[in-house]
Amino acid sequence: MSEKIPRKVLLAIILINFAGQIAWAVENQYYNVFMYNVIAPVPLYISILVAVTTIVGTIAAVIMGSYSDVKGKRKTIIFVSFIFWGITTAMFPLAAFFRPIILAVMIAILFDSIMTFFGSTALNAGFNAYVTDVTTEENRGKIMGIVQLVFLIALIITYGVSGFFIQAFGYFAYFYVVGIVVGVIGIIGGFLIKDSEDLKPLNISVYVHIKNTFKGGTLKNHKNFVKLLITVAVLNTGFNVFFPFLLIYFQHYVGISLSLASILIFIAMLVSMLLAYPFGILTDRVGRKKVAIVSALMMGLFLIIFAMVLDVFLLLIFGTCWLMFYIAWTIATLTWIKDLYPEEGRGQFSGYWNLFNATIPMVIGVFLGGWLALQYGIPIVRGGVAGTVPTPLIFLVGAIIVLFSIIPHLFVKDIRGSNSENLKMADSRKD
């Protein structure tokens, strides 16, 4: 495959990633803010929302990723999923009309789960595998830099507009507009996709394809892949202790408006965006492992400092620093893991990447963060419903876990210029 990516393919990657990341940014923060500010100020409800939906997302990614491998199709599932992704995003705020409060919470979780199924099918199962299909080890770092750049642009737009839009027009109009934007842009991107000529249908069932992954031999042949998954799960567990509560922390502990809190994240994202592509080039030149370890170390240190300040300017400075190094770490590990994908199961292994990159750390991390907010948070009552406000403790605990992740990083090999068969042979010789 040529190192140069065709313009149409690159445009499809940009549009699909842009639409998907807007949807995920809204779900990762503004679904939580809506749950807290409109339904009930209880951090543990957010923990349940995040945990349930990320499990749904992983199940969808594994099953639909395997389906795309077996059928030899990425385009169809991406195109169709974006149609329903937009519709279900717009449905979410309708949960607020239900009573009692616990029913509203349950409906919100249901709506978010449906949306997550289609979103995970489109982005995690379809898009991630498609990017691997159309890139090589020589250009993958640069392309992942572009993917991360688009991710940051989507976040910048989301955080730059959301706070002001919600204050001006309300949550309901906000979610309706987001649903339309995500659906339209994603459908256009899906239309531009052309499945790789190297992607061929497999003469097995989806069930057998998934089952084969759990065979002992399969795991032994991909030990480096598994080690990196564990490493990623540890750091992202630390990240998810605090990140789902970030805007709530700004708004209710620091005491600034939702629009100003969104702007702080907007600026931090803008700075990180400018460095995304250089980080991708650095990853290709220096190596995935070196960039990942240094980034994890710096992220943890800046999180500790971030937890100790309340001044808005200092929060911006140190928040930008830990986010910048998290982006660098993400580019390095995304590139690293794609080097280790087996050619015969890229869609399926994208699903397992989602399990360790999102599901496990979100379930553990967000429940830990919610528990810390419940046990050590500041009591609050809104609309007759009692709750708590998260404190800086969630950032300190998150930082400790991030720093601890450096240890498993050391045991993962950065093998450059090796395909999956080379990796199988290398691992097999150990046995």
Bridge partners, residue 381, by sequence: 386
pLDDT band at 211 (very low <50, low <70, confident <90, very high): confident
Cβ contact 78:190 at 8 Å = yes
> pLDDT value at position 48?
94
Amino acid 7 reads: R
Tell me if 324 is assigned to some domain.
yes
Tell me if 113 is assigned to some domain.
yes
Number of separate domains in the chain: 1
Q: Whole-model pTM?
A: 0.80
pLDDT band at 219 (very low <50, low <70, confident <90, very high): low
**In this structure, what are the phi and psi dihedrals at residue 386, rounded to the nearest 5 degrees?**
-80, 145
Q: Which helix (H) or strand (E) holds 72?
A: none
Bridge partners, residue 380, by sequence: 387
**287 pLDDT higher than 50:** yes
> pLDDT value at position 217?
52
> pLDDT value at position 215?
58
Least confident of 31-45, 65-79, 202-216, 294-308: 202-216
Average pLDDT over residues 326-334: 90
Helices (H), 287-392: 288-307, 312-339, 346-354, 360-376
Which is more confident, 419 or 170?
170
**146 pLDDT higher than 70:** yes
> pLDDT value at position 391?
96
Q: Percentage of the chain with pLDDT > 70?
A: 90
DSSP assignment of 221-262: HTHHHHHHHHHHHHHHHHHHHHGGGHHHHIIIII---HHHHH
Tell me if 146 is assigned to some domain.
yes
Which is more confident, 370 or 28?
370
Amino acid 248 reads: I
CATH number at residue 160: 1.20.1250.20
- Is residue 214 classed as helix, strand or coil in its secondary structure? coil
Query: Who contacts 92 (Cβ-Cβ below 8 Å, separation ≥6)?
Result: 31, 34, 108, 111, 112, 115, 175
- pLDDT of 55-101, one tens digit each? 898 888 888 888 887 877 788 889 999 999 999 999 999 999 998 99
**368 pLDDT higher than 50:** yes
> pLDDT value at position 238?
97
pLDDT band at 418 (very low <50, low <70, confident <90, very high): very low
Q: How far apart are CA 286 and CA 282, in angstroms?
A: 6
**46 pLDDT higher than 90:** yes
Q: How far apart are CA 330 and CA 288, in angstroms?
A: 10
> pLDDT value at position 128?
79
Tell me if 317 is assigned to some domain.
yes
The tokens for 329 are 């770490």
Tell me if 63 is assigned to some domain.
yes
Average pLDDT over residues 187-202: 80
**In this structure, what are the phi and psi dihedrals at residue 265, rounded to the nearest 5 degrees?**
-70, -35
State the average pLDDT for the chain: 85
pLDDT band at 218 (very low <50, low <70, confident <90, very high): low
- Domain range for residue 131? 7-430
pLDDT band at 204 (very low <50, low <70, confident <90, very high): confident
CA-closest candidate to residue 37, choices 135, 211, 152, 166: 166
> pLDDT value at position 429?
40
- Prior bond of 100 cis (ω within 30°): yes
Query: Who contacts 126 (Cβ-Cβ below 8 Å, separation ≥6)?
Result: 64, 65, 68, 74, 77, 78, 81, 347
> pLDDT value at position 152?
77
Least confident of 34-43, 60-69, 312-321, 326-335: 60-69
> pLDDT value at position 421?
39
Buried b (16+ CB within 10 A) or exposed e, 250-282: bbbbbebebbebbbbbbbbbbbbbebbbebbeb
Q: How far apart are CA 113 and CA 39, in angstroms?
A: 17
Tell me if 2 is assigned to some domain.
no
Bridge partners, residue 378, by sequence: 389
Average pLDDT over residues 317-333: 93
pLDDT band at 172 (very low <50, low <70, confident <90, very high): very high
Average pLDDT over residues 236-242: 96
Which is more confident, 8 or 181?
181
- Is residue 8 classed as helix, strand or coil in its secondary structure? helix
Average pLDDT over residues 39-51: 93
Least confident of 96-105, 146-155, 159-168: 146-155
Tell me if 185 is assigned to some domain.
yes
Average pLDDT over residues 282-287: 84
